[in-house]
Chain A
Amino acid sequence: MSSVAPERVRAIEAWNELDERGSPILIRAIRWIALHLGRRTSRWLLPPIAGYFLLAAPVARRSSRQYLRRLGLRGHWWQVARHIHCFACTILDRVFLLTDRMATLDIHLHGEQALDEALRDGRGCVLIGSHLGSFEVLRALAINRHGRGLKVLMQPEHNRIVTDLLHALNPTVAGSVIPLGGFDSLLRAHEALGRGEIIGMLADRNAPDGARLECDFLGAPAAFPLGPWQAAAALKAPVLLFFGLYSGANRYDIHFEWLADALEAPRRERADTVAGWVERYAERLDHWARRAPYNWFNFYPFWSDRA
């Protein structure tokens, strides 16, 4: 287990700080605009909002540029602007997704047979996502397609203010978060699976003292957390990956990929399997990031090296 380099910690904190400090006013603004002006009008206001992030968040700007370069792009300011604009679009759409106004969105599913198969016997499954694209778009899916509940396992401090502001729009959603950190978190998740619910987790950000594995991502090593996968293994449920990619205008393309059947192995036999899962995840994240480059919303130094 490696400790995190101090400057990396500071950069991550700076992003969180901006997210938490600059965000409340902006998120409130986006929220108000979305609720009162509708999607089409709201989108005209996104460029200035994206412009604010571009100017006010040097960490985000630099991280965007570094990321785009790893993809083979030059990282010109207009590419960075496009990157941030894409992010702002999905934040706006979170308001519509949370207030049940999905009709304005054009959502396409891919690989949904894998999800159907995993849910077939009435039990739930684990869906692992990332900050590539929108996570919120999954709620539309969970509610509409199978009528199964969705419970999200997440760190309570993660994007706390943004989460609170958006979840205030929909109390049902607030109740659908299972905060990690309590010793009963996984017990609750297991019970939800027994009721046929879907457990969602994002697996591309490390907890400060969490176990992690270095995997290749876009050609360089990056640390990925092991926690979500250890949890998935302990939950003994089928595991699928999903990527809710924003494709511009009002279109989202959600891709489901089967990862593993419910793991029967006892704990002492799991380590290799879990490591394989993380590597597969990093591989698939790489695959989709290359195809939807502006959907990458980890605006901080992601890699282990400093290039």
Chain B
Amino acid sequence: MNDLQTLEAEVATLIVETLNLEDVDPAEIEPDEPLFNTGLGLDSIDALELALAISNRYGVQIRSDDADIVRIFASLRSLAETIDRRRTQ
């Protein structure tokens, strides 16, 4: 596994633990699967909790006025890429 895939696995686990998704195995979250509405079916409360968890764990802030916010939250992969990019800055 490369670094990004490791990060994806970490973030998948973070999603499942933070959001208490009891029936979901982190390894089964497809990197390109939609996170909101369809796919994993997350909602706005989930988005908040995830953003807070990401801030706590990686020091990466995701704000509602972020121009890329829709893309950032589109999938596990885009979320992991964003975290990877922003935490080295």
Report chain A residues within 8 Å CB of B47: 183-184, 186-187
Chain A: minimal CB distance from B41 (Å)? 11
A190 and B18 contact, Cβ closer than 8 Å, known pairs A183-B36, A183-B43, A184-B69: no
For A267, what are the chain B residues with a Cβ–Cβ distance below 8 Å? 18-20, 49
CB of B44 within 8 A of chain A? yes
Residue of A nearest to B73 (CB): A183
Size range of the interface on B?
10 to 19
Considering only CB atoms and an 8 Å cut-off, how many residues of chain A contact the other chain?
19
Interface centre among A186, A189, A235 (most CB of B within 10 A): A186
Given contacts A180-B44, A231-B45, A234-B45, contact A187 B18 (CB under 8 A): no
Residues of A contacting B52 with CB < 8 Å? 190
A227 to B20, CA, bound (A): 16
Inter-chain contact A184/B64, CB cutoff 8 Å: yes
Taking CB atoms and an 8 Å cut-off, the chain B residues in 57-89 that contact chain A are 62-64, 69, 73
In the complex, how many angstroms separate the beta carbon of B71 from the nearest chain A beta carbon?
Answer: 12
Are B64 and A188 touching (Cβ within 8 A)?
A: yes
The distance from the CB of A230 to the nearest CB of chain B, in whole angstroms, is 6
Whether B42 pairs with A183 at a CB distance below 8 angstroms is yes
Q: Which of B18, B19, B44 is close to A184, meaning CB atoms less than 8 Å apart?
A: B44
Whether a CB of chain B sits under 8 angstroms from the CB of A182 is yes
Is B51 located at the chain interface by the 8 A CB criterion?
A: yes
Interchain CA distance A188-B5 in the complex, whole Å:
30
Chain A 138-181 interface 0/1 with B at a Cβ cutoff of 8 Å (1 = within): 00000000000000000000000000000000000000000011
Task: Give the contacts of A55-88 with B (CB-CB under 8 A).
Answer: none
Which 10 A-B pairs give the minimum distances between C-beta atoms?
A: A186-B48, A268-B20, A187-B64, A185-B44, A188-B64, A186-B44, A184-B64, A267-B20, A183-B47, A183-B36
Q: Which residues of B contact A184 (CB under 8 A)?
A: 44, 47, 64, 69
Measured in the bound complex, the distance between the Cα atoms of B44 and A235 in whole Å is 11
Report which of B36, B37, B48 forms a contact with A190, defined as CB distance below 8 A. B48
**Chain A residues closer than 8 Å to B43, beta-carbon distance:** 183
A189–B49 CA distance with the chains assembled, in angstroms: 12
Name the residue of chain B whose CB is nearest to the CB of A268.
B20
**Chain B 25-50: CB-based contact to A (< 8 A → 1; otherwise 0):** 00000000000110000111101110
- A191: Cβ under 8 A from any B Cβ: yes
Return chain A residues, CB-CB under 8 Å to B51. 187
Contacts of B64 in A (CB 8 A): 184, 187-188, 191
CB of B72 to closest CB in A, whole Å: 10
Shortest CB-to-CB span from B7 to chain A, Å, is 22
Q: Could you say which of B20, B36, B37, B63 contacts A187, with CB atoms under 8 Å apart?
A: B63
State the CA gap A42–B47 with chains docked (Å). 46
9 contacts between A and B (CB under 8 A): A181-B44, A183-B43, A183-B47, A186-B44, A191-B64, A234-B48, A235-B48, A266-B18, A267-B19
| Chain B residues positioned under 8 Å from A234 (CB to CB) | 45, 48-49
From the candidates B19, B20, B45, name the one contacting A186 in the complex (CB within 8 A). Answer: B45
Q: In the assembly, what is the distance between CA of A188 and CA of B45, in Å?
A: 11
Residues of chain A lying within 8 A (CB to CB) of residue B36? 183
- The chain B residue with its CB closest to the CB of A182 is B44
A270 closest partner in B (C-beta): B20
